[in-house]
Amino acid sequence: MPELPEVETIKNELAPLVRGRRITGISLGWEGIVKKPSLAEFCACLTGQVVTGLRRRGKYLIFSLSSGQSLIIHLKMTGSLLVNHASDEPAKHIRAVLHLDNGRELRFRDPRKFGAMWLVEDAESVVGKLGPEPLTESFSATVLAGRLAKRKAPIKPILLDQNFIAGIGNMYADESLYDAGIHPLRPAASLSQEELARLHKAIQEVLWAAISNKGASVENYFRPGGELGTAHFEFRVAHGLGGKFCPRCGTPIERIVVRNRGTYFCPKCQPIDKTK
């Protein structure tokens, strides 16, 4: 599933390809991909607009348009945005195509049909409830500690809650907790100030490293040009790709299910009992 590093990579690589381009038409291979407004209004209002900017909020891509509206795309589990020439052979699983004025096409590929698109007057109507961005200067260790105070739930699902913090998904939660030496089932409120500082540092370092490696092509993630990311080659535990043994201590990596999400960790480096 594309998480913050993957969506940030797409934004960085897609922006120079679409900024300033006029949308000349829309083709839909699956009508369910449009969540708002109606299909007829979506196509009519989007056609003729110029893309004036592109930004990321959490796992969402927000295209600023010449009308002042925003086109918002969420890739969900298996989505990718690919830029191709109109003459290129059509690929499988293309659910929507934005035709551009330079003969290129922005193709929304989504094998499992979970992706979504909105055309709205105010982007906050879609992304307004998201938590803070973890890579901003304003997201400090103190802010993290304050948001976790009195939270008795396990730390892993809290990190996955997009209303708590925006952009972190299953892979990078596991990697961050491993880096910080924190068991995924530890109650959030039980973390010491030292552990919170380690977790804050780990979150930022793990995310920045993944962005520098252009995201993780674990399943269906492709960059706009069709290239793969390489961040998964650096995983220590996440997604079962980090090997069978902890790279620090050699202990076998364990897998448990936390709130229906497969979770990988080292039982020695991340003890459930912090006194061990």
151 domain residue, yes or no:
yes
Predicted confidence (pLDDT) per residue in 127-140, tens digit: 999 999 999 999 99
The CA-atom distances, in angstroms, between 199 and each of 162, 174, 206, 267 are 17, 11, 10, 17
Claim to verify: residue 65 and residue 151 sit in the same structural domain: no
What integer pLDDT is reported at residue 30 of this predicted model? 95
Chain-centroid distance, C-alpha 128: 16
Claim to verify: residue 99 and residue 178 sit in the same structural domain: no
CATH of residue 105 = 3.20.190.10
Predicted confidence (pLDDT) per residue in 137-150, tens digit: 999 999 999 999 98
- Cβ–Cβ under 8 Å, residues 185 and 177: no
54 domain residue, yes or no:
yes
Claim to verify: residue 10 and residue 83 sit in the same structural domain: yes
Q: Which residues of 97-106 are buried (b: 16+ CB within 10 A; e: fewer)?
A: bbbbeeebbb
Domain count, the chain: 2
pLDDT band at 274 (very low <50, low <70, confident <90, very high): low
CATH of residue 182 = 1.10.8.50
Predicted confidence (pLDDT) per residue in 169-214, tens digit: 999 999 999 999 999 999 999 999 999 999 999 999 999 999 999 9
276 domain residue, yes or no:
no
Claim to verify: residue 181 and residue 237 sit in the same structural domain: yes
Q: How far apart are alpha carbons 69 and 176 in whole angstroms? A: 36
Average model confidence (pLDDT) for the chain? 94
Whether the pLDDT of residue 239 is over 90: the answer is: no
- Cβ–Cβ under 8 Å, residues 133 and 166: yes
Claim to verify: residue 149 and residue 49 sit in the same structural domain: no
By annotation, the residues acting in catalysis are 2-3, 59, 261
pLDDT band at 273 (very low <50, low <70, confident <90, very high): confident
pLDDT band at 254 (very low <50, low <70, confident <90, very high): very high
pLDDT band at 276 (very low <50, low <70, confident <90, very high): low
What integer pLDDT is reported at residue 90 of this predicted model? 72
- Which residue range forms the structural domain that includes residue 101? 4-127
- Cβ–Cβ under 8 Å, residues 130 and 166: yes
Q: How far apart are alpha carbons 261 and 264 in whole angstroms? A: 10
Claim to verify: residue 106 and residue 18 sit in the same structural domain: yes
What integer pLDDT is reported at residue 89 of this predicted model? 77
Q: How far apart are alpha carbons 39 and 43 in whole angstroms? A: 6
Q: Which 8-state DSSP code applies to residue 220?
A: S
168 domain residue, yes or no:
yes
